[in-house]
Structure 1
Amino acid sequence: MKFTVSNLNKFLFFKLPSAYISGVRVKQIEANKCVVTVKHRWINQNPFNSMYFAVQAMAAELSTGALVMNHVQNSGKKISMLVANNKSNFTKKATGRITFECLDGDLAEKSIQDAIVSGEGKTFWMKSIGTNENGEQVSEMDFEWSVKSK
């Protein structure tokens, strides 16, 4: 699969339908940056009239995972990838359209290359920042990815 916004959103529909139904969409993908958005709606709300934390986590994870998937594909090698840990910090109610941005693509690329050269598994943390339409941070999520050459 070529890594384009359209193909990633098709991937969501077929492979991660709960994220797609919740409104998670990729808006931009580059070698070192991925932007994912999700709008607060009835289907993804919590009882406090804001976006459910798990929906934010799906969007944030996708912003990191799409970068890992892209660099795995670019390596031309068979690489397994898995989220080993995650940490979250919520600073404001998530209402309106929330944008998650990850700028750690270079870290994923380096770790994948290290795993290929060493033949051992590598772990690395990637950060995704969620902001509302006013540019205010609503959440910060860190995902520890594990990659290993097969």
Structure 2
Amino acid sequence: MKLTAANFNRFLLFKLPSAFICGVRVKEIVYNKCVVSVKHRWINQNPFKSMYFAVQAMAAELSTGALVMLHIQNSKQNIAMLVAANKSSFSKKATGRITFTCQNNNEIENAISQTISTGEGQTFWLKSIGTNEKGEAVSEMDFEWTIKLKK
């Protein structure tokens, strides 16, 4: 399956239904960037009338993980991936449409290349920044991904 925004959104419906129901959607995925959006609604709010942190984490993780999946597919290797750790910070109430963007600065390519050449697992961090409709950052989330060749 070619990894496009539409295919990822179908994937969400069948494999990650909680993210789909909460409104998480891939808007754009290209070689060096993935954009995921989610709108604050009743189904994904916390008691303080802003978006629940876990919904933000789902969208942010998808923006990083989708890029990893795209690069693994492009490598034509059988590579496993897993989140090893994450950290986050919240700077503003998340209301309205929140857009998470992950920009790849060669971390993924370097890790895949190292894994293929050495056969050893690699770890790397990717950052996703969530912004509101005014362009203000509401949260930053970092995910440590591990990859290794499947045997």
TM-score by length of 1: 0.98
Which runs of 5 or more residues in structure 1 are unaligned?
none
Give the aligned partner of residue 119 of structure 1. Answer: 119
Q: 1:58-111: CA deviations, max 9, x gaps? A: 000000000000111111111010000000000000000000000026311221
Partner amino acid, structure 2, of 1:73: Q
Give the aligned partner of residue 103 of structure 2. Answer: 103
For residues 83 and 116 of structure 2, the distance between their equivalents in structure 1, rounded to whole angstroms, comes to 18
Give the aligned partner of residue 35 of structure 2. Answer: 35
Give the aligned partner of residue 80 of structure 2. Answer: 80
For residues 28 and 144 of structure 1, the distance between their equivalents in structure 2, rounded to whole angstroms, comes to 22
Give the aligned partner of residue 48 of structure 1. Answer: 48
Give the aligned partner of residue 13 of structure 1. Answer: 13
Give the aligned partner of residue 92 of structure 2. Answer: 92
4+ residue runs over 6 A deviation: none
For residues 5 and 109 of structure 1, the distance between their equivalents in structure 2, rounded to whole angstroms, comes to 21
Whether the 8 Å CA contact 1:37–1:99 is kept in 2: the answer is yes
Which runs of 5 or more residues in structure 2 are unaligned?
none
TM-score by length of 2: 0.98
Equivalent residues, number: 150
Change (3 A) 1:66 1:105: farther
- Once superposed, what is the RMSD of the aligned Cα atoms? 0.7
